[in-house]
Structure 1
Amino acid sequence: MIKIYAPASIGNVGVGFDILGVAIKPIDGTLLGDCISIQSSNSFQLNYHGDFSKQLPKDIKKNVTWQAWNWFNEKTKKKKQISITLEKNMPIGSGLGSSASSIVASVLALNKFYKTKLTKKELIHIMGILEGNISGSIHYDNVAPCYLGGLQIITDDIHHITQKLPIFDNWLWVIAWPGINLSTSIARNILPSKYDKEICIKNNRNLSTFIHALYTQQQELAIRVMIDSIAEPYRIPLIPNFLKIKNEITKLGASTCNISGSGPTLFSICLNVSIANKVKKWLETNYIKNKTGFVHICTVDKLGARKLRI
């Protein structure tokens, strides 16, 4: 049997709309990500379990794991009868790379099972295509960190689609999903089709400064320029009381408060465990809407997707 785990990820990372993404892992050891298990079978089976398996589409052909299996069938010209189990530990429409987690785990597990020996570039490319089937356009800011780990910048270069960036090891990433879903396509469609030149200049300046600060280890500078001028101003109405929440947790000592991906998950960077715990407790009390919501204190997952011991 093959079992692959693919971690949660934060797209955009505030300043890097559709360009930056980071893989994360809770410090308490929780596997915040999806798992795919594959074994030989006499007939094709796709089984679901996990806390969020009921959120998966009823039509099997709309399931990204089925789409990945179908892609490998067409690629190899062999329709293998296998049993696939998707452990859905990630809420759909959460802003934590839920679809990317399923896609990455599925593609890597199928690549091993079919023995196709695809290159890293080929694997990322098919992951991006499958992600695009959901969001409407190919993008890699979740699949790249989910697959490769760490903080990734999407270069879209012909030879290297993505590159790993340095990151501050002491940063604690507090992530809060309120327990409600937000469609990625709705969150993308609310954005303007054209932007004012000054907004573009400001965003480019902040992104460039952020990357410079990472390489020169200027932590405070990196935090100051983690400003989302491309998506956040337009997505605020989709997240009730966002500005109030941002104000309250920064008063507790949080260094940032941004929307994770398309939302509604929020992420906040804290510089020590004491502050992170205060922010976590406040968000649990004031942002979580139901029993399915959660708050985790995380660090960067530097490994990305990996094989688990059975």
Structure 2
Amino acid sequence: MSLTVYAPASMGNVSVGFDLLGAALAPIDGSLLGDRVSVDHQESGVELSVSGKWADKLPSDPKQNIVYQCAEFFLKAQGIKSGVSLVLEKNLPVGSGLGSSASSVVAAFAAMNECFGLPCEPQALLELMGEFEGKISGAVHYDNVAPCYLGGMQLMLEQHGRISESIPAFDDWYWVVAYSGVSLSTARMRQLMPQQYDKRTCIDFGRNLATFVHACYKQDAQLALSVLKDVLAEPYRAPAIPGFEVARAGLNELGMDVTGISGSGPTLFSVTRDKQLAEQAAVWLAEHYVCEADGFVHVCQLDQQGTRRV
């Protein structure tokens, strides 16, 4: 019997936590923003078909698709002799900054694990997800796969067998996310960053992230917003994202609390505690930031469920 797994979009970095912080997204209109993978048993081998709005952006050869590779690896690692038939519904644009590759990988591994009776425990599965997503993004980092899989806001630990830990979020925050329609390579955007940073920048990064996590636990929204800034990546990436700096200035004029880059862009996020203002910002972004027909804007809160069967 076929089963389908949904894996939500995610924001890597969340500005303040480069490679160390990530959050899963849920549009407040109830729609699902993320990829789905359906899996069914078959006698042998792996078969993959692809559907969805962005299916034509993926390799035409199924064997070059990361979902196919995830399934093939899983079967071999678990010593499973039978095969699977898979369908990937590609609902996230490639190179968008919304964890597109992470969503596909997480949905694939979660679906395979469900299909064969949950042989892998969550942390082991999460480690596999990070390894495979890294083949596409150019480096192994968990700030997309962890929130996509586990939901909420996740802090990357990678200590003592624990890859990430959920931290409290703010239930009254609205995250307006806007994808301009331009595709940017994660690997290329990482290359824009310097190989070394001065001591002051490192201290500022550590202070801001520590303060943000502290503020989350204390539920001090003003303190959290005051340090929700990116001193490592945004100064180098912002000029390479068409329209970002103009949009940030416009959103600030509207009264949004803070604006940053989702992952490596071009998707941006902007935060407010006012739902009406969030909806106004969404309209503004649709008019002033979205520049291609495939672009979109969503008013979101955090997806606390993470990956699940649908």
- TM-score over 0.5 for the pair: yes
2:43–2:82 contact (8 Å) kept in structure 1? no
User: Which has the higher mean CA deviation after the structures are superposed, 172-181 or 61-70?
Assistant: 61-70
The percent of aligned pairs where both chains have the same amino acid is 46
Aligned to 1:258: 260
How far off its partner does 1:64 sit? 1.3
Matched letter for residue 136 of structure 1: G
Matched letter for residue 51 of structure 1: K
- Which of residues 50, 55, 67 in structure 2 aligns to 1:53? 55
User: Which has the higher mean CA deviation after the structures are superposed, 147-156 or 72-81?
Assistant: 72-81
**What CA deviation, in whole Å up to 9, does each residue of 1:22-48 have, x standing for no partner?**
001101111100001011235632011
Aligned to 1:125: 127
- Which of residues 185, 192, 198 in structure 1 aligns to 2:187? 185
**What CA deviation, in whole Å up to 9, does each residue of 1:139-183 have, x standing for no partner?**
100000000000000011122110000010000000000111000
Query: How many equivalent residue pairs?
Result: 308
User: Which has the higher mean CA deviation after the structures are superposed, 109-118 or 259-268?
Assistant: 109-118
Tell me the distance in 2 between the aligned counterparts of 1:66 and 1:197: 44
The alignment yields a C-alpha RMSD, in angstroms, of 1.2
Tell me the distance in 2 between the aligned counterparts of 1:77 and 1:208: 43
Matched letter for residue 103 of structure 2: S
Aligned to 1:82: 84
- Which of residues 235, 240, 249 in structure 2 aligns to 1:238? 240
Aligned to 1:24: 25
Matched letter for residue 41 of structure 1: Q
Matched letter for residue 227 of structure 2: V
Aligned to 1:282: 284
**What TM-score do you get using the length of structure 1 for normalisation?**
0.97
Tell me the distance in 1 between the aligned counterparts of 2:177 and 2:91: 15
SS at match of 1:18: coil
How far off its partner does 1:120 sit? 1.0
How far off its partner does 1:61 sit? 3.1
**What CA deviation, in whole Å up to 9, does each residue of 1:227-277 have, x standing for no partner?**
100000000121123222111101111111100000000000111111101
Matched letter for residue 9 of structure 1: S
Matched letter for residue 232 of structure 1: E
Alpha-carbon spacing, 1:96–1:88, altered in 2? closer, same or farther (3 Å):
same
User: Which has the higher mean CA deviation after the structures are superposed, 246-255 or 59-68?
Assistant: 59-68
Alpha-carbon spacing, 1:224–1:3, altered in 2? closer, same or farther (3 Å):
same
Structure 2 matches for 1:81-100, cutoff 5 A? 81-100=83-102
Tell me the distance in 2 between the aligned counterparts of 1:80 and 1:230: 47
Aligned to 1:272: 274
**What CA deviation, in whole Å up to 9, does each residue of 1:64-95 have, x standing for no partner?**
10111111122023343321000001001000
Matched letter for residue 250 of structure 2: E
| 2:157 equivalent to 1:155 | yes
| 2:197 equivalent to 1:198 | no
Tell me the distance in 2 between the aligned counterparts of 1:223 and 1:149: 21
Tell me the distance in 1 between the aligned counterparts of 2:153 and 2:77: 30
Matched letter for residue 231 of structure 1: A
Tell me the distance in 1 between the aligned counterparts of 2:84 and 2:142: 28
Tell me the distance in 2 between the aligned counterparts of 1:202 and 1:15: 10
Tell me the distance in 1 between the aligned counterparts of 2:235 and 2:261: 10
| 2:75 equivalent to 1:73 | yes
Aligned to 1:10: 11
Gaps of 5+ in 1: none
How far off its partner does 1:111 sit? 1.0
Structure 2 matches for 1:25-40, cutoff 5 A? 25-40=26-41
Tell me the distance in 1 between the aligned counterparts of 2:31 and 2:115: 27
Tell me the distance in 2 between the aligned counterparts of 1:130 and 1:158: 21
| 2:309 equivalent to 1:307 | yes
**What CA deviation, in whole Å up to 9, does each residue of 1:101-125 have, x standing for no partner?**
1111100111122335111111101
Gaps of 5+ in 2: none
- Which of residues 191, 196, 220 in structure 2 aligns to 1:218? 220
SS at match of 1:91: coil
Matched letter for residue 269 of structure 1: V
**What TM-score do you get using the length of structure 2 for normalisation?**
0.97
Tell me the distance in 2 between the aligned counterparts of 1:17 and 1:146: 16
- Which of residues 97, 104, 107 in structure 2 aligns to 1:105? 107
Tell me the distance in 2 between the aligned counterparts of 1:158 and 1:299: 31
Tell me the distance in 2 between the aligned counterparts of 1:241 and 1:85: 35
